[in-house]
Amino acid sequence: METITPNYQISYQNLILNIELSGDWLIDSQYPDDFDEVLESQFKQYADIKKVTMSMIQVTQWNSALLTSILTLKQYCLDYHIPLNTEQLPSEMIRLLDLSSKVPRHDVDDHIPKNTSFLHNVGMNTLSSIHDIGEVLAFLSNAVAAFFSMLRGKATYRSSDTWLVMQQTGAEAVPIVSLLNFLVGAILGYIGAMQLEKFGAEIFIGDMVGVAMTREIAAIITAIIMAGRSGAAFAAQLGTMKVNEEIDALRSMGISPMEFLVLPRMIGMMLMMPLLAIYANFMGIFGGALVAYGMLNISLEQYLNVVIKSVGLNDVAAGVFMSTIFGIIVAVVGCQKGLSCGKSAEAVGISTTSAVVTSTVIIFVCAAILTVVYGALGI
Amino acid sequence: MSNKLTTSSFSIKECHSDNAIVVDHLTLTYDEQIIQKDLNFTVKHNDIFIIMGNSGSGKSTLMRAMIGLDRPSHGDIYYRCNNEYNGYWQSSKAVQLRMMQQYGVMFQSSALFSSMTLLDNVSLRLIETTQYSVSRIRKIAYYKLALVGLKGFEHYFPAEISGGMQKRVAIARAMAMDPPILYFDEPSAGLDPLSSKLLDDLLLELRDSMGITMVIVTHELDSIFSIANDAIFLDQGQKTIIAKGNPNAMLLDDSHPQVQAFLRRDNAVLSEKVKQ
C-alpha cells in the first residue's frame, strides 16, 4: 500500500488558528520536520489568537511522531493561555495524549547533562586519580591485614583456590612468558651486538644480556604480561561477581571477600611471579645466546662463561624481589578494581581496563624507585 | 472458543486478515532434544495472548523462535507484511528485517543498555532504522517515556532506577517504532503485586489506545485472568499445547489436570491455609 505524503494547512480567521492535517503521518513517510517550528511562528505572528482548532479528518494513518507535534502544540497553547479544541481529534489519540501526562514530571535537576569546561574536567580527573590512589592504598592495607590473619590461621579462605590461581597465573602463563622474554633477550642481544662490535667487545654481550635480564627486564616484562593477562582476569571475574551480587552474598554469609577472594589471588601471584621471573631470566639469556652465536660467532660455552662470571646472586635476588613486589601489585590492583566495579556490563569493562593501566603504571614507577634504591645500597 | 487441541483443523489457511501471527507446525529443539512439537495457533489483532506453562516447558524458547532469535527445527511463524503473510524463517534477510519492524520485544531482565541513558535506550532503534531528524527522535523518545510514566527520568541510567521502572523503560523501548505487535517475556517477574497490577493496567491501556497485539509469556495468574483474551498452555510432559482459548474458559474445562493444577494453584494454597 502506498503512503500519502503528510501535509498541513494553517489558516487564521476571526482570531481562530485552524490547523488541518492530511495524509499518512507515519515513520516510513516524509515527516515534515518544520511543522513544530511553523506552529511556534504562528503564535509569535498572531498575538491575539483566542482559540486553536485542529482537524485530522483527512489524516489516513498516524503514529507517535504526530503525537509529539500535538504535544508541542498543547504546550504552546498552555504557554500563551489559549484554549486548544481537541474535539476533532480521534478518541485513541486523546487517550494517548492523556496517558502521557498522567504521571507528573519527576524533578531531575541533577541528571540534566551539563557542559563542563576543560579546566573543570582536568581538576575533576586529578581529584579522581588521587581518590583512586587512596583507595588502592586502603585496599592494600586491608589485604596485608588479611594476609596476617591467614598466617595466624584465622582467615576464611580455601587453599584449593590458591592452587587454582597458581595454575592459572603460573603454569598456564609459561608459553607467553617464554616467547616474550626470549624475544626481548634476543632484541637486547641484537642491539648490544651492533654496538659492541664497534669496540671489539663482542664477548661482553653475555654480560649485558645476563645482567639486564636478571636484575630488571625479565621481572618487568613478566609483570606486564601478568597485568594484561591475570590482573585483567581478576578484575573481570570479581567485577562480574559484583554485578551478579555474589560479593554481597558472601558478605551476607559473614565471609570477608578480602580473605575469600583476594587472598588466594594475592598469594598465588606472590608465589608464581618470582618463579616465572627466574624462568624468564633463562629464556632471555637463551635469546641473547642465539644472537651471539648467529651474529658474533660466540659459542654457547663462551657465552655462558661470561654470563656466569657477570651475573651474581645479588642480581638474581634483586630481580626476584622486584618480581614479588610486582606480583602483589598486579593482584591487589586487579582485585581492587574488580571489587570497586559498578553494577553494569560497561563498568566491568572499565574496571578491567583500569586494572591493566593502573598496574602497568605502578609497576614502572616501582621499578624506577627500586633501581635507585638498589644503586644506593650497592646491590 | 474451544480450549481443546485441534491440530487437525489447522492449516496455513489461518492466514487471513484477522490474524496478526500464525504459528504453523512449529517444533522446537535444544541440542537435538525436543522441547515442544507440532505447535499450531494464531494470535488475533488487538488480542492479549498469553503463553503459559510450568517452568521448563519451553515458553521462552517458543517466544525466542517467534521473534527470530532461535531457528525452530520444523515449521514457521507467519507475520502479515505488506498485505501478505510471510513465513519468518523461510524469508530472505531483507524480508526478515521488514518483519522485525512489526514487533517490539521486552525481555525478562529488561535488557536495557547500561551504558546509555533511558532516553538513548528508547532512541536507539529510531536513530538506526528511521529517517527522522534527531530532534524528532528525541521528542518521540521523551513521549514514549512519558507514556509509561517516566517523565523526568530521561537522563537517568538504568542502574539508577528500580526494577519496576526498568520494566517500564523496556516497554517504552519496545514501543519506540510503534510496532503493531509487542512481545513480553515474564513482564511481572520480580515485581511486587501492586507494581505488577500497575503494569497490567498499563498494558491494557496501551492495547486499547494504540491497538497493539500483545504476546505475553507469563505464569502470573493475576495477569492471566485480568488481561488475557486468548492463551495456550504448553505441557512439559506431552511436549505440546494441551489447551488453548480464553483462560477463564480453560478454568471450567477439567479435561486437563495439569492445566487445572496450574490455574487453580492459588486457590489450593488458600484452601490449605483455611484448613489449617
Note the pLDDT tens digit of each residue in A161-213.
999 999 999 999 999 999 999 999 999 999 998 898 888 888 889 999 999 99
Instruction: State CA A367 to chain mean position distance.
Output: 24
What whole-number percentage of chain A has pLDDT above 70? 97
Q: Contact, A273 vs A202, CB < 8 A?
A: no
What whole-number percentage of chain B has pLDDT above 90? 44
B63-100 pLDDT, tens digit per residue, is 999 999 889 999 999 998 777 888 999 998 888 888 88
Q: pLDDT band at B276, cuts 50/70/90?
A: low
pLDDT of residue A110: 66
For residues A205 and A305, give the distance between their C-alpha atoms in angstroms, rounded to a whole number. Answer: 11
Task: Tell me whether A152 touches chain B (CB under 8 Å).
Answer: no
pLDDT of residue B13: 55
Residue B140 to residue A92, Cβ atoms within 8 A: no
In the A/B pair of chains, how many CB contacts fall below 8 A? 89
A26 to chain B: nearest residue by CA? B178
Q: pLDDT band at A221, cuts 50/70/90?
A: very high
For residues B89 and B108, give the distance between their C-alpha atoms in angstroms, rounded to a whole number. Answer: 24
For residues A360 and B59, give the distance between their C-alpha atoms in angstroms, rounded to a whole number. Answer: 49
- CB-nearest to A68 from B114, B139, B151 is B139
Q: Contact, A346 vs B115, CB < 8 A?
A: yes
Residue A11 vs residues A23, A54, A101, A292, B74: alpha-carbon distances, Å: 18, 11, 28, 92, 59
Q: Contact, B26 vs B74, CB < 8 A?
A: yes
Chain A interface, mutation test: which of B126, B151, B153, B208, most A Cβ atoms within 10 Å? Answer: B151
pLDDT at B7 over 60: no
Q: Contact, B224 vs B50, CB < 8 A?
A: yes
A239-278 pLDDT, tens digit per residue, is 999 888 888 888 877 788 999 999 999 999 999 999 999 9
Question: Which residues of chain A neighbour B166 with C-beta distances below 8 Å?
Answer: none
Angle at A236 between CA A235 and CA A238, to 5 degrees: 65
pLDDT at A68 over 80: yes
For residues A192 and A207, give the distance between their C-alpha atoms in angstroms, rounded to a whole number. Answer: 10
Q: Is B67 exposed, middle or buried (0-12, 13-18, 19+ CB in 10 A)?
A: buried
pLDDT of residue A378: 86
Q: Contact, B115 vs B104, CB < 8 A?
A: no
For residues A336 and B60, give the distance between their C-alpha atoms in angstroms, rounded to a whole number. Answer: 38
Q: Is A61 exposed, middle or buried (0-12, 13-18, 19+ CB in 10 A)?
A: middle
Q: Classify A54 as helix, strand or coil.
A: strand
pLDDT at A30 over 60: yes
Three-state DSSP string of chain B: CCCCCCHHHCCHHHCCCCEEEEEEEEEEEECCEEEEEEEEEEEECCCEEEEEECCCCCHHHHHHHHCCCCCCCEEEEEEEECCEEEEHHHCCHHHHHHHHCCEEEECCCCCCCCCCCHHHHHHHHHHHHCCCCHHHHHHHHHHHHHHCCCCCCCCCCHHHCCHHHHHHHHHHHHCCCCCCEEEEECCCCCCCHHHHHHHHHHHHHHHHHHCCEEEEECCCHHHHHHHCCEEEEEECCCCEEEEEECHHHHHHCCCCHHHHHHHCHHHHHHHHHHHC
A118-150 pLDDT, tens digit per residue, is 999 999 999 988 888 888 889 999 999 999 999
Interface of B with A (CB under 8 A): 82-83, 114-115, 130-133, 135-136, 139-140, 142-144, 146-147, 149-160, 175, 177-178, 205, 208-211
Q: Contact, B121 vs B173, CB < 8 A?
A: yes
C-alpha grid cell for residue A176? 607467553
For residues A73 and A85, give the distance between their C-alpha atoms in angstroms, rounded to a whole number. Answer: 11
Helices (H), A46-111: 64-79, 91-100
For residues A67 and A198, give the distance between their C-alpha atoms in angstroms, rounded to a whole number. Answer: 82
Question: Which residues of chain A neighbour B159 with C-beta distances below 8 Å?
Answer: 342-344
pLDDT of residue A65: 87
Burial A350-365 (b: 16+ CB within 10 A, else e): bbbebbbebbbebbee
Mean pLDDT of A214-229: 95
Number of Cα atoms under 13 Å in the Cβ half of residue B78: 26
A312-363 pLDDT, tens digit per residue, is 999 999 999 999 999 999 999 999 999 999 878 888 999 999 999 999 999 9
Residue A164 vs residues A205, A269, A323: alpha-carbon distances, Å: 39, 11, 20
Question: Which residues of chain B neighbour A108 with C-beta distances below 8 Å?
Answer: 152-156
What is the 8-class DSSP label of residue A21?
E
Q: pLDDT band at B14, cuts 50/70/90?
A: low
Mean pLDDT of chain A: 89
For residues A282 and A230, give the distance between their C-alpha atoms in angstroms, rounded to a whole number. Answer: 22
A254 versus B9: which is more confidently predicted? A254
Residue B140 to residue A344, Cβ atoms within 8 A: no
Residue B159 to residue A107, Cβ atoms within 8 A: no
List all residues 6 or more positions away from B228 whose beta carbon is below 8 Å from its beta carbon. B48, B49, B50, B216, B246, B247
For residues B153 and A108, give the distance between their C-alpha atoms in angstroms, rounded to a whole number. Answer: 7
Mean pLDDT of chain B: 85
Question: Which residues of chain B neighbour A345 with C-beta distances below 8 Å?
Answer: 114-115
Chain B interface, mutation test: which of A111, A240, A244, most B Cβ atoms within 10 Å? Answer: A111
Residue A345 to residue B205, Cβ atoms within 8 A: no
pLDDT of residue B1: 35
Nearest to B150 by CA among B175, B130, B168: B168
Question: Which residues of chain B neighbour A72 with C-beta distances below 8 Å?
Answer: 139
Angle at A264 between CA A263 and CA A266, to 5 degrees: 65
List all residues 6 or more positions away from B276 whose beta carbon is below 8 Å from its beta carbon. none
Write phi, then psi, for B245 (nearest 5 degrees): 130, -165
For residues A179 and B158, give the distance between their C-alpha atoms in angstroms, rounded to a whole number. Answer: 44
CB within 8 Å of chain B, chain A residues 220-279 = none
Residue A166 vs residues A105, A140, A218, A281: alpha-carbon distances, Å: 55, 20, 19, 20
Side by side, the strands of the sheet bearing A16-25 are A7-13, A16-25, A51-62, A84-85
pLDDT of residue A4: 82
Residue B151 to residue A105, Cβ atoms within 8 A: yes
pLDDT of residue B9: 42
pLDDT at B223 over 90: no
Residue B159 to residue A342, Cβ atoms within 8 A: yes
What is the 8-class DSSP label of residue A112?
S
B137 to chain A: nearest residue by CA? A65
Chain A interface, mutation test: which of B98, B121, B125, B140, most A Cβ atoms within 10 Å? Answer: B140
Q: Is B142 exposed, middle or buried (0-12, 13-18, 19+ CB in 10 A)?
A: buried
pLDDT of residue B12: 55
pLDDT at B274 over 70: no
Task: Tell me whether A96 touches chain B (CB under 8 Å).
Answer: yes
Instruction: State CA A314 to chain mean position distance.
Output: 39
Residue A71 to residue B143, Cβ atoms within 8 A: yes
- CB-nearest to B114 from A63, A95, A345 is A345
Residue A261 vs residues A158, A241, A256, B265: alpha-carbon distances, Å: 9, 11, 8, 43
B125-170 pLDDT, tens digit per residue, is 888 888 888 889 999 999 999 988 899 999 999 888 988 899 999 9
Domain edges within chain A? 7-106, 133-377
Residue A96 to residue B82, Cβ atoms within 8 A: no
- CB-nearest to B147 from A100, A108, A111 is A100
What is the 8-class DSSP label of residue A111?
G
- CB-nearest to B136 from A65, A99, A344 is A65
Amino acid at A345: A
Residue B205 to residue A99, Cβ atoms within 8 A: yes
Residue B205 to residue A65, Cβ atoms within 8 A: no
* Architecture of the domain made up of A7-106: 2-Layer Sandwich (3.30)
pLDDT of residue B46: 92
